[in-house]
Structure 1
Amino acid sequence: MLIAGFPAGAFQTNCYVVAPAAGEECVIVDPGQDAVDGVDELLREHRLKPVAVVLTHGHLDHVWSVAPVCGARDIPAWIHPDDRDLLSDPAKGWSDTSAQLFGGITLSEPDDVKELSDGAVLKLAGLELVVDHTPGHTRGSVSFRLPEDEIMFSGDLLFAGSIGRTDLPGGDYPTILRSLAAKCLPLPDETIVLPGHGPQTTIGRERATNPYLKAFSDDLASGEGAPHAGPTRGI
């Protein structure tokens, strides 16, 4: 398994390329702001041929470069239908403050857009990516898993020490907690989490130290309700 990545643009959004090995086909995850050159460099370095872009959600910092990346290689982009409108109208995912900062930015859909669904298994580039619909950060947020390798691309659902913010349009705190409980807590401790921002972590580390997952586990054990913990992250 080959997984390589880099933090793209001002938002430092993690963009990944995933392949069975060097010299083979690959999938690109979340090409954000100014990601084109970084993607091209990884493809050259590892002699990879991309067959698709997969998107964890539709926020600007994760989809900024999806149209040029797809267009240059004539490949499709996969996104959940609840976030598809953000590909061409990113302002729908912004707060009023963000709209002032990023007003005037225009994006377009790639020529070929395919829609993700919960539980789907994408067979791409010799990989089998399991799709988990994980709303809460946005309505159409998803995570991707490689179950045999115990790897999760969590997008802005789960970070090292935090979770995705829920105060932007389409975000909802109780919903993201349900997503964490349903899609993260059942995973093995050894599962490697590759998030949308920041360093990689593991489910076991987050279960033990992340104030949200730890509080959730403690509250479930005590019979209490949803946890209330520290700050969240994401655009």
Structure 2
Amino acid sequence: MLVVGFPVGQLQANCYVLAPEKNGPCVVVDPGQDAVEAVRSHLDQHGLTPEGVLLTHGHFDHVFSAGLLCGAYGIPAWIHPEDAYMIGDPGAALGPEGRQLFEGVSVTVPHELRDLRGATTLEIAGIRFTVHHAPGHTEGSVLFETATEEGGRLLLTGDTLFAGAIGRTDLPGGDHEKILRTLSSRVLSLDDETAVLPGHGPTTTVGRERAANPFLRDLGVPGGTAG
């Protein structure tokens, strides 16, 4: 599997392009601010054609360019409905002070937004994803898990889990207890070798975070211990 990750925008959010192989279809995950040209560059470099956009949650630094990409390539975007309102109103989840940052800013909403509520699997561009609703950072946060042809597993975590940290929960829709439950049930239940592709910062693994992430060390795993 081809996996290309690169930071975009002022907050350096990670955007990912995943494809079974070069010169074929692909999926784009979390195209945030100023992502269009970077995405196009990687698509051209590897001969890829996007078939859809996946959004881990609705914060502007992860969705800002989704509408532009969807319009340019005639493709749909998938998001959990709890977070869909943020795409057209990027200041809505930032509180009163943060909302002022987007006064007068026009945002292009994807022409076709598909609903992830209740979805457990999703196949795009020949890649089969397991979809985990993962509330905590936002009400509509999701994790996308997939297997590689080489036998590994990938987990795209958005802002739910980072290397050495977890997502903030002090913005509207955030809930610290919920994110801890999500991490326990959706992340720590996975094998240690699962590669974690977070929304910011470097990649990591479930095992590394289980051992060293201070927010995970004291969490239990429902039904037993993974690893």
Counterpart residue number, 1:68: 68
Instruction: State the shift of 1:121 in Å.
Output: 1.0
Matched residue SS, 1:212: coil
Matched residue SS, 2:43: helix
Residues 217-232 of structure 1 mapped to structure 2, 5 A cutoff: 217=220
Can you list the C-alpha shifts for 1:155-211, whole angstroms capped at 9, x where unaligned?
000000000000001001111111111100100000000000000000000000000
TM-score of the superposition, structure 1-length normalised? 0.90
1:181 aligned to 2:184?
yes
Counterpart residue number, 1:125: 125
Distance 1:208 1:99 in 2: 38
Can you list the C-alpha shifts for 1:71-108, whole angstroms capped at 9, x where unaligned?
00000000001111111112211123322334332323
Distance 1:102 1:92 in 2: 9
Counterpart residue number, 2:205: 202
Distance 1:4 1:215 in 2: 33
Instruction: State the shift of 1:118 in Å.
Output: 4.5
Structure 2: runs of 5+ lacking an equivalent: none
Amino-acid identity (%): 51
Question: Does the 8 A contact of 1:118 with 1:132 survive in 2?
Answer: no
Instruction: State the shift of 1:119 in Å.
Output: 4.9
Distance 1:86 1:51 in 2: 23
Deviates more, 1:187-196 or 1:110-119: 110-119
CA RMSD across the alignment = 1.7
TM-score of the superposition, structure 2-length normalised? 0.93
Structure 1: runs of 5+ lacking an equivalent: 222-235
Aligned length: 220
Counterpart residue number, 1:96: 96
Question: Does the 8 A contact of 1:117 with 1:131 survive in 2?
Answer: no
Distance 1:104 1:43 in 2: 31
| Amino acid paired to 2:113 | V
| Amino acid paired to 2:19 | A
Question: Does the 8 A contact of 2:92 with 2:99 survive in 1?
Answer: no
Distance 2:161 2:19 in 1: 23
Counterpart residue number, 1:154: 157
1:48 aligned to 2:48?
yes
Question: Does the 8 A contact of 2:91 with 2:100 survive in 1?
Answer: no
Question: Does the 8 A contact of 2:90 with 2:102 survive in 1?
Answer: no
Distance 2:198 2:71 in 1: 25
Distance 1:156 1:31 in 2: 14
Distance 2:160 2:104 in 1: 28
Matched residue SS, 1:215: coil
Distance 1:142 1:105 in 2: 26
Instruction: State the shift of 1:217 in Å.
Output: 4.2
